[in-house]
Each structure stands twice: as C-alpha cells, then as structure tokens.
Amino acid sequence: MKKFLCLMTAFIMIFAVSSCGGGKSIPTDLLKSGNRVSSIISNETLAFSEKIEYFGDETLTYSVYTEAAAGFAYNYNIVEKIGDYTLYVHEGEIYSEKDGKICSVVLSNPAYTFAGFVGEYLDADFPLDSGVRYQRSSNEDGQFTYVTYYAEITPQMASSIYSAKLKAGEKIITTYKLGKGYRIYQADYGVENSAGEITPVARRTFEYYTKRNADIFSSLPDNDDKTYTLTLVYSNRSEERKIKAGTDIGFDDGGAGYEYFSDKEMTVPFSQTVSSDIAVYVKTNFD
C-alpha cells in the first residue's frame, strides 16, 4: 500500500517553484496535479504501472500497478511489488503473497478504512521531488517534453532514501520525460557535486494502458471459492469479515499496534490458515 514510499516521505514538505531556466517554464505543481491517480485513470487510460529503481551499493526495485476497478465502489485495483513480496488490492479485497503463499489481509482498526488504505497510493508524491526546486532547462522533440530541475538536498531528503548516498547541501538533479497533460513517462534523478559531476541515484518509468491486465491477479482466489466467517472480537463489540478458504490471515491496523489471539484469555497468539468459521480476539492499545 505504498507504505514503503510513505515511510520515506514522512515529514517532508513539498514546494513547487519555477524559474527562468532555458526553454518553456513548467511549474512543478503541474507535474504533481497531472500525475495523481485520479488525473491519470480515465476513459482512455484504464491502467498504468510505475517502476522505481534506486541505485546505490545495491539496486532496489519497487513497482506498483494501478487500474480502474470494475466495481464502482472500490475505485482502484492495485498490485505493489518489492523484492519477493507482493500486495494486491482487488475489487475491495486485500491480499499479500510471499513465497507462493496467499494471505488475506484484514483491516482490523475501524479508524483505518479501505478508502484510507487505498488513499495512500493516490497522490503523486515522491521523496526526491521534495524541497524547493528550480527549473534548469526544457526542450521538446515533437512528441515529448524534457524538463530538468535542481534542488538542494535537505537533511530530511538525505535520510529518506534507502541505499542512495545523498549528502545535505549537494544538488539533486531531476529530468522528466513528459507527455500530454504533463504525464510523466520517465524521471531520472542524480546527485550533482561541486565539480558539476552527476551520479545517478534513481529512475522512475511509467507505462499506460487502455485495458486492464486480468492476468496480474490470476494467483488470487476466485469469486466462486468457498468463504468462511472471521469474527473479530474486541473488548466491547465484534465484527465479521468474509475470508476465502485456504488463505492465511494477516492483519493491518494502520500502525496502531493491536495484538491478535486465538483464545478469550489472550494467551495464544493467532496464526492459522482459514479452514472453518473462526474467532480472533483483538487486544487494542485501549485495552
């Protein structure tokens, strides 16, 4: 749920600044507004993917695929991949997959809704786009616009990127390849030292599709699969969830730190695959 990126962007303020660099001036707020999910998904574009590569001592690759959900109430379906871990949001249900095992993800905190979970994917924020940015140049080739910005690396930015060796005071140089409506097709990020030498630190690439990719969700349980009832038992209430048979169960409380048990006495931590109706006893941070 883009938690990987959300952790890195915490407490970073974003400013949009344009200046008199070479070529046409393109304020960065146009890039942000043009690349929100709500701006991208349309009658012409039903899905898109973003791949992010961080370059450092090792290369870290992260990707997220987003499409318009078939069910209007759910807005978007999402697939997030980092390493051997995959998270799926599909037609109102959430799953994770690791080592070939599918886990049903249950949102257990009433304050952390499905809309809030999906909402973490819907903005256009990116850690290296923070700070006060100034335009250096722009040019066009008839199909795409290429625009370059620079910004001083802040201490927050330097500490936010895994494996990228950034130093406060150096400059981050960003070159975007933009299509119609300021839609980003590629963004290259590099660090410029005092000698003007640029070291690549990250690249983002985007692809846009006119059709949904049904195959990307093929490993998930079918709608016709048997379901069981999971009852979440709190100290003052209970709630029911429908869980597909044969899946493990995981919980997401939005960072609240809840604990889950198989017994009323809350002595046996819960951990099992769904094969029948089941109750889980939840210890919240208010208990």
What band does 278 get if pLDDT is binned at 50, 70 and 90?
Answer: very high
Residues 168 and 155 sit within 8 Å (Cβ to Cβ): yes
pLDDT higher than 50, residue 20: no
What amino acid occupies position 235?
S
pLDDT higher than 90, residue 164: no
Domain ranges in the chain? 3-84+120-209, 221-287
Q: What is the pLDDT of residue 12?
A: 30
Q: What is the pLDDT of residue 126?
A: 85
Which residue, chain included where needed, has tokens 């950034």? Answer: 166
Q: What is the pLDDT of residue 194?
A: 82
Phi-psi region for residue 92, left (φ > 0), alpha (ψ -120 to 50) or beta?
A: left
Model confidence over 197-246: pLDDT tens digits? Answer: 899 999 999 999 999 998 999 999 987 778 999 999 999 999 999 999 88
Model confidence over 45-104: pLDDT tens digits? Answer: 999 999 999 887 778 899 999 999 988 778 899 999 998 999 999 999 999 999 989 999
Length reported for the chain:
287
User: What is the rounded average pLDDT of the residues 157-177?
Assistant: 78
What band does 7 get if pLDDT is binned at 50, 70 and 90?
Answer: very low
pLDDT higher than 80, residue 13: no
- Kindly report which listed range (16-20, 102-106, 119-123) carries the lowest average pLDDT score: 16-20
pLDDT higher than 70, residue 16: no
pTM for the full predicted model:
0.85
Residues 150 and 117 sit within 8 Å (Cβ to Cβ): no
* CATH number of 221-287, picked from 3.40.190.10, 3.30.500.10, 1.10.3720.10, 2.60.40.4270: 2.60.40.4270
- Strands 47-54 and 171-178 come out as unpaired
